[in-house]
């Protein structure tokens, strides 16, 4: 679903991403893990066509990133860090509007929105504004927004940052269900090591714009004789995830 080679991005003299190779297979839940400032969002924005790579190549959902960005956009969903739905709009209206922008007829848009709200345990929130929702509900509305056009590949940028532990665990269940029930491939970023461990089939660890290692959580822990991914990260980078934070 994702094959990237040598992706780089520089902003002036900041080398945000310094040669990232990635392979994500259909149906995987892959966690892109690293401290703040590691280059996660920049990589995601390149893979979703929002940012042109300085160099490197990638195919995403079967389409070439640079030659066919429209093809990529049709086939992927993207939920930005910090969310996408404005605080004052009614959730049902906003989702329906977006669905119609994807070319659905009104009746089809209504059905799609109702089905997604049902799927994400959001029945009855149509009339509410995002302001009047819990953090977990907001994140699920953002995810509904990213799924309107039935993408086979969903990118989630820090979907659980700022949520309480219970809401985070609930969101993990939803992510797993999307993969199990709809076969959606999921590529998500997180700076929570225990989240990557609990949720992801495979993790790719990035630090200072470079991939440090990748594998299943069990493989990585075994390879480093570590009990947790925190210890793996420390062994590989010489610093902890929090203290390594640049931003
Ligand atoms: N538009 C930009 N202009 C300049 N520097 C940027 C820009 N976007 C990101 N950066 C820098 O690139 C690095 C990686 O940022 P980012 O990809 O947002 O990291 P992460 O999502 O892992 O926290 C950071 O040093 C950040 O300050
Ligand atoms: Mg980020």
Residues with CB under 5 A from ligand 2 (ion): 40-41, 81
Render pLDDT for 148-192 as a digit per residue (tens, 0 to 9).
Answer: 999 999 999 999 988 999 999 999 999 999 999 999 999 999 988
Q: Which CATH number fits domain 2-84+151-237: 3.40.50.300, 1.10.10.10, 1.10.8.60, 1.25.40.340?
A: 3.40.50.300
Q: Residue 236 — very low, low, confident or very high, per pLDDT cuts 50/70/90?
A: very high
Task: Please work out whether the CB of residue 14 comes within 6 Å of at least one atom of ligand 1.
Answer: yes
Q: Where are the domains of the chain?
A: 2-84+151-237
Residue 89 tokens read as: 């709009």
Burial 168-181 (b: 16+ CB within 10 A, else e): bebbbebbeebbee
> pTM of the entire structure?
0.94
Ligand 2 centroid to residue 34 C-alpha, Å: 9
DSSP H or E run through 76: strand 76-79
CA-CA distance, 122 to 143, in Å (whole number)?
11
Higher pLDDT, 216 or 191: 216
Sheet strand arrangement including 202-207 = 76-79, 153-157, 185-190, 29-33, 202-207, 210-215
CA-CA distance, 10 to 3, in Å (whole number)?
20
Q: pLDDT at position 247, please? A: 39
Quote helix, strand, coil % in the chain, to nearest 5.
Answer: 40, 25, 35
Task: Please work out whether the CB of residue 246 comes within 6 Å of at least one atom of ligand 1.
Answer: yes
| CB-based contact 43:216 (threshold 8 Å) | no
Task: Please work out whether the CB of residue 247 comes within 6 Å of at least one atom of ligand 1.
Answer: yes
Task: Please work out whether the CB of residue 36 comes within 6 Å of at least one atom of ligand 1.
Answer: yes
Task: Please work out whether the CB of residue 39 comes within 6 Å of at least one atom of ligand 1.
Answer: yes
Render pLDDT for 102-144 as a digit per residue (tens, 0 to 9).
Answer: 999 999 999 999 999 999 999 989 899 988 899 999 999 999 9
Ligand 2 centroid to residue 235 C-alpha, Å: 23
Give the count of alpha carbons within 13 A of 114, CB side only.
6
Among 42, 45, 189, 242, name the best residue to mutate to test ligand 1's pocket (greatest count of ligand atoms within 8 A of Cβ).
42
| CB-based contact 190:155 (threshold 8 Å) | no
Residues 6+ apart with CB under 8 A from 104: 112, 148
């Amino acid at each position: 679903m994702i094959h990237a080679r040598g992706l780089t991005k520089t902003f002036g003299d900041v080398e945000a991403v310094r040669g990232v190779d990635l392979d994500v297979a259909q149906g995987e839940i892959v966690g892109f893990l690293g401290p703040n400032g590691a280059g996660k969002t920049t990589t995601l924005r390149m893979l979703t066509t929002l940012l042109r790579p300085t160099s490197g190549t990638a195919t995403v959902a079967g389409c070439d990133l640079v030659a066919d960005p429209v093809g990529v956009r049709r086939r992927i969903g993207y939920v930005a860090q910090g969310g996408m739905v404005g605080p004052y709009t009614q959730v049902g209206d906003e989702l329906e509007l977006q669905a119609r922008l994807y070319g659905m007829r009104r009746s089809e848009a209504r059905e799609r929105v109702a089905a997604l709200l049902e799927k994400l345990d959001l029945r009855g929130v149509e009339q509410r504004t995002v302001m009047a929702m819990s953090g977990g509900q907001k994140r699920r509305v953002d995810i509904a927004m990213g799924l309107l056009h039935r993408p086979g590949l969903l990118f989630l940028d820090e979907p659980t940052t700022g949520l309480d532990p219970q809401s985070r665990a609930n969101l993990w269940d939803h992510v797993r269900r999307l993969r199990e029930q709809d076969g959606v491939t999921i590529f998500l970023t997180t700076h929570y090591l225990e989240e990557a461990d609990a949720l992801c089939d495979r993790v790719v660890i990035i630090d200072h714009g470079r991939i440090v290692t990748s594998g299943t959580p069990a493989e990585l822990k075994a390879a480093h004789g570590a009990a947790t991914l925190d210890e793996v990260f420390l062994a590989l980078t010489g610093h902890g995830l929090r203290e390594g934070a640049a931003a």
